[in-house]
Amino acid sequence: MADTTASNTSAGAGIDLSQFYQVFFEEAGENLDRLEQLLLEIDIQTADDETLNSIFRCAHSVKGGAATFGFADVAELTHEMETLLDKLRRHELAPTAPMVDVLLQAGDALRAQLARHQHGGEGEAADTEPLVAGLRALAAGGIAPAAVAPSAAAPTLAPAEPALPAGQRTLELTVGPLAAPEHADNLVELFGEIVDLGTIEALDAGQPADGMRRFKIVTQSSDADLLDLFTFHVAREHVKLAPLGPGYGFHAGAPGAPPQVVADPGFGFFDDAPGAPVASAVAAPAPAKANARAAAPPATAEASTLRVSVEKVDQLINLVGELVITQAMLAQNSAKMDPALYQQLAKGLADLDRNTRGLQESVMSIRMIPMSIVFSRFPRMLRDLSAKLGKKVEFVTQGEATELDKGLVEKITDPLTHLVRNSCDHGIERPAERLAAGKPETGTITLAASHQGGSIVIEVRDDGKGLSREKLLAKARERGIDAPDTMTDPEVWSLIFAPGFSTAEIVTDVSGRGVGMDVVKRNITALGGTVEIDSAEGHGMSVKVRLPLTLAIMDGMSVGVGGECYIVPLASVIESFQVQGDTVKHIGGSGQVVKVRDEFLPVVELERVFGVPRLDTGASHPVMVVVEAEGHRAALLVDELLGQQQVVVKNLEANYRRVSDISGATIMGDGRVALILDVGSLARRTRH
C-alpha cells in the first residue's frame, strides 16, 4: 500500500502527489455523503435508473482516486461495491434491503480507511474481509440473463502490483523515431550503471515497425534529471516521458500501459470534470437509456465551486471589517461639509457606502452554511438506531435553507446529535405501545430551523411519550435535589439538565433523556445560546436551541446614555417612541413596566444596569426602544437615538474579559469604542 507521505523526487522538481491529497479526501468525502444520501432515499420497489447510476458513479469516483494515489484497500472495497452496483443498474439484480445495509456499512468502512490514510496510515487497518465477502455473495446471488455475456459484468480490477516505496513512481519512456531503434538499448545500459536510480524494462519486442521504443521506468528521480541523462545518447526531441499506470498523475496510462487500467472507466478522481472519460465509453454493453444517463454526470458541481481555506475567508472578512470602519469615519467627517461645495465628494462617498454594504453582504455570505448540511447526517443515524431499538421513525426536516455561520455549525452538530438520539431512544414508543395509545405506529421526529430576530432557533421535537412531571420530581428528590410540588412545568423540565440526571429505568448504550443533557446545555451556553424545553406527557416533547447569529459585521442602532454610546442589534429592534410623563409604571419596588398597545413590557434602564455616570443631573430619559429576544420583549430606556449604521463586531472577551449583558464591542467612525448590547441577556434579566 502506498504511503501517504510526500513523494519528493531527488531534484525536487517532480510531481509531489501529496499536494493533491486534501482535494482527493474532500471529494471522496462528498461522494460518500452523496452515496449515503441516495441509498437512504432509494425506493427499493421502484428504484429508477438515474438513482442507481448516480450511486454507481459515487463509488466509481472514489475508486478511481484511490487507485491513482495507491490506496489499494480503498480501491478493493469500492471495486466490490461497483460490481454489485453495476449489476443493479443493468437490472441483472433487483435491489433489496440487505444490499442497502451492506452498501451503507461499506461506506462507513471507506470513511475509516480514508481517515487512516489522511493521517499518514496511523492506527490499525480495519478488517473489511466480511464486507467484501458480503458484497461478493450479494453480487453472485442474482442469475444473469442468458442474453448477457459474462463480460457484461463490471470490469474486474487487475491484480494489484506490489506497493511502491514512498516517493517512487512509474513512468513510460518513449524513444524515437530512430533510424536504428536498437540504439535505445544504450539507454538501458546507462540507466543500470547509476546506483539507486531505479529499474527499467522494455514494453515492446525490441524491433517495432514504427521505429519507436517503449520502456517502463520505476524511479524516484525527476523528469528533468532523467531527460538530462537520456540525452547523452539520444536527442532530446526524441525522448518523451509520460505517466504509466496507477500511482502517478491523474490520467490513465499512456500507450503501452496495462489494459486493465485503460478499461477502468473514468480512471482518476475528476469524474465530473469537463472532458473526463465517461463510464459508458468503455463499460460493457447495457441498455441505451441507462448508458446515456451514466455518460452525463452533472458537470456543474466542479465548474461552479471553488475550494478556499477558512483562514483566507476570515482574513477577507477582517479586511472588509476595517473597510467598514474607514467608510463610517469618512461618512461621519463628511457630514460637517457643505454638500453644495463638495457635491462630487458627497456623491463618491454615497457610492462608497452602497458598494461597501454590497461587498460586506457578499463576503459574509461566504461563511454562511445552510442547515441542510447538519440535517443530512441524521437520516442515516435514525435509520440504524430505530432498527436497533425495534421502532418505526419518520424523520422530518424544516427550514433546511436557514443559514448559520460555519463556526457555529461545527459546534452545534454534537448537541443536536445527542438530542435527536434521545428523542428516538426515550421519546418515541415502540409500535405496539403507540397503537395501544391510539397513535400511528410510526413516530415522527422533526428537526426545524428558523430565524427569529437576531437569533437562529433550532428545534428538535417528537410525538412520543413526553416527560413525566411526577417521575422527574421523584427522581430529583431521590438525588437530594430540592423539588417542591409548587415548581412550574418549565422548572420541572429543567431538572434534566442536572449532571447525571436520568429517568431511564434501563441503561442502554444510547444516551437516555437527561444523560448528558448537562453537557448539551453547557455547550449551547458556551456559544452564547439558550435551551428551552416544552413537554406534554403522552403527546411529545420539544427542545428549542437559540443561538446568536454572531456575524462579524451587522446593522446596529446606536443609542446614547449619559456620555456613553451603545449599539443595539437592528434585527432585535421592534420600534421606538418618545416617553410620556405617565408612561412608565412602578411595580414591586424597583420594577418598572410600560404599556405598549395594550401590552405591559418590562423596562430595562441602561443607565442603572451599566452604572453610567451622569454629569447633567437634570437630564431625563426621553426615548424607549422596544426589543425582542428569545421570544420575549422588553423596553430599553435611553437618552437619545444617535443613528443607524453598520458596525464591525470585535470580540471583547478575547481582548479584555467577558462582561455581562454585553456581546461585543465596535469602533465608531470617530475612533471611540462602543459596546454592543446582548439583548437576550437583558431580556432574561427582566424575567428574573
The pLDDT tens digits for 410-436 are 788 888 888 888 888 888 999 999 999
What is the structure's pLDDT at 295? 37
What is the structure's pLDDT at 7? 39
Rounded mean pLDDT of the chain?
Answer: 75
Q: What is the mean pLDDT of residues 614-620?
A: 61
Burial 277-291 (b: 16+ CB within 10 A, else e): bbbbeebbebeeebb
How far apart are the C-alpha atoms of 451 and 399, rounded to whole Å? 9
Least-confidence region, from 57-61, 242-246, 606-610, 619-623: 242-246
Q: Is the pLDDT of residue 259 over 60?
A: no
Q: What is the mean pLDDT of residues 510-516?
A: 48
Least-confidence region, from 6-10, 62-66, 539-543, 639-643: 6-10
Helix 378-389 vs helix 21-41: crossing angle, to nearest 10: 50
Would you call 368 helix, strand, or coil by DSSP? strand
Going by C-alpha positions, the residue among 169, 173, 108, 102 that lies closest to residue 131 is: 102
For 92-143, what is each residue's pLDDT tens digit?
888 888 888 888 888 888 888 888 888 777 767 777 888 888 888 888 874 3
CA atoms within 13 A on the CB side of 241: 23
Q: Is the pLDDT of residue 517 over 80?
A: no
Beta carbons of 566 and 558 less than 8 angstroms apart: yes
Least-confidence region, from 338-347, 439-448, 588-597: 588-597
Q: What is the mean pLDDT of residues 293-309?
A: 50
pLDDT-derived band of residue 145, with 50, 70 and 90 as boundaries?
very low
Angle formed at CA 54 by CA 49 and CA 59, multiple of 5 degrees: 130
What is the structure's pLDDT at 454? 62
For 550-599, what is each residue's pLDDT tens digit?
666 778 899 998 888 999 988 888 999 888 767 788 887 668 888 888 88
Rg of the chain over Cα atoms, rounded to whole angstroms, equals: 33
What is the structure's pLDDT at 264? 37
Ranked by mean pLDDT, the top range of 81-90, 195-204, 271-280, 521-530 is: 81-90
pLDDT-derived band of residue 461, with 50, 70 and 90 as boundaries?
very high
pLDDT-derived band of residue 266, with 50, 70 and 90 as boundaries?
very low
The H-assigned helical ranges of 527-580 are none
For 31-54, what is each residue's pLDDT tens digit?
888 888 888 888 888 888 888 888
Q: Is the dihedral of CA 579, 582, 585, 586 positive or negative?
A: positive
How far apart are the C-alpha atoms of 342 and 261, rounded to whole Å? 71
